[in-house]
Chains A and B, each alone.
Chain A
Amino acid sequence: MKPKFSIDALAYTVLMQGINQQYFVEKKGDMSDFRLYYDDLWLSDTAVIDDVHRSKGEWAIDLIFVSIHNPLKFIRRYIVSHPCPKRAAHKAELMRRLAAKDQRGTLLVNKNLLQMCQN
């Protein structure tokens, strides 16, 4: 039979001290810990645009997430790169559909929101 696992007295003492410390060190969380979640909430209402471009000898796929309420609020993220342009385009399409909230692409950026001046 496999001998029972055991640790020596010193290691056990240190472990016990660790458990004791836990009570004094660990504090309960509060709502501000969810800040991260609220900060990223706008990402759920974004239009996702794929961008395939040449980078380091390959076709890199970037996804741009643009807020549908304010198009000037956006982030751009590199996803993957591919040596073949056709495959890269296909992959970009798949990635875009995967990342978008609605696969049909109903969330779109409205250019009127940019309030561009025509003068």
Chain B
Amino acid sequence: MSNTKQRIIEASVRLFNENGLDSVRLQQIAEEVGISVGNLAYHFKNKEAIVESVFEQVFEEFDTIFRQYLVSPNMTDFDLQIADFYAFFTKNHFYLSEFFKSNSVTPPHFQQWQVGVTKMMIQLRSRLQFLSMKGDLQPEIQSGQYEIVAEQIWMSLVFFVPKSTMTGQAINMTNYKKSVWNILKPLFTSQGQQEFNATILPQLYW
């Protein structure tokens, strides 16, 4: 992709985050990038084309995070994935606000988003299974327990940014990671606790 095109997409994402998907005009995007509207029209036919490209990039980034699953068997592997999710959801939080509009219109690319989100949930569930098989997490007390835990983690990963905005808490990586690890903490075995203390804890409370 050409440099200008990439710059336009990045500026659009910034503006969508600030003002919402609908209220951004082409003029604003052109000003943000520092080019004329005519030049913008040369790269993208209309706003739909820009939105299309933005979503293409968003889903590409989303898929990239999934490819990081179990690169190494340690807890740091999950920690790195959480960091990726943080970067993704802080950068692209405009999409979530589409769901909370009063006119209940399905947001664009809803199906693709659903596929991604289902993938995310399945990965979290199998991550918990893996950690439990490895001996870092206690075995399930009742079947389906980790399914609920996975859902809790999922909610924390997805809705941390809106939640922090609502409550006025600071949005930073450490708080984001804490919110996830705090869910897992009570489930650690002594082996898991040791690994957590050695590798993850130092970066959460330095």
Name A's B-contacting residues (CB within 8 A): 4, 6, 9, 12-13, 16-17, 19-20, 22-24
B115 CB contacts on chain A under 8 angstroms: 6
A23–B130 touching, CB < 8 Å? yes
CA distance A46 to B112 in the complex (A): 63
B129 CB contacts on chain A under 8 angstroms: 17, 20
- 0 or 1 for each of B131-155: is its CB under 8 Å from A? (1 = yes): 0011000000000000000000000
Interface contact tally, CB-CB below 8 A: 30
* Contact with B70, one of A6, A12, A13, A23 (Cβ below 8 angstroms): A23
A16 CB contacts on chain B under 8 angstroms: 69, 122-123, 126
* Contact with A9, one of B73, B122, B133 (Cβ below 8 angstroms): B122
- A77 CB to closest chain B CB (Å) equals 44
CA distance A104 to B205 in the complex (A): 73
A23–B119 touching, CB < 8 Å? no
Q: Please report the total number of B residues contacting A with Cβ < 8 Å.
A: 15
B73–A17 touching, CB < 8 Å? no
B119–A19 touching, CB < 8 Å? no
State whether the Cβ of B6 lies closer than 8 Å to any Cβ in chain A: no
- 0 or 1 for each of B103-138: is its CB under 8 Å from A? (1 = yes): 000000000100100110011011001100110000
CA distance A41 to B159 in the complex (A): 62
Contacts A20-B130, A23-B73, A24-B133 supplied; 5 other A-B pairs, CB < 8 Å:
A12-B119, A16-B69, A16-B126, A19-B70, A20-B126
Name B's A-contacting residues (CB within 8 A): 69-70, 73, 112, 115, 118-119, 122-123, 125-126, 129-130, 133-134
CA distance A30 to B134 in the complex (A): 23
A13 CB contacts on chain B under 8 angstroms: 122, 125-126
- A20 CB to closest chain B CB (Å) equals 4
B122–A20 touching, CB < 8 Å? no
Cβ-closest chain B residue relative to A9: B118
Cβ-closest chain B residue relative to A23: B73
Cβ-closest chain A residue relative to B124: A16
- B125 CB to closest chain A CB (Å) equals 8
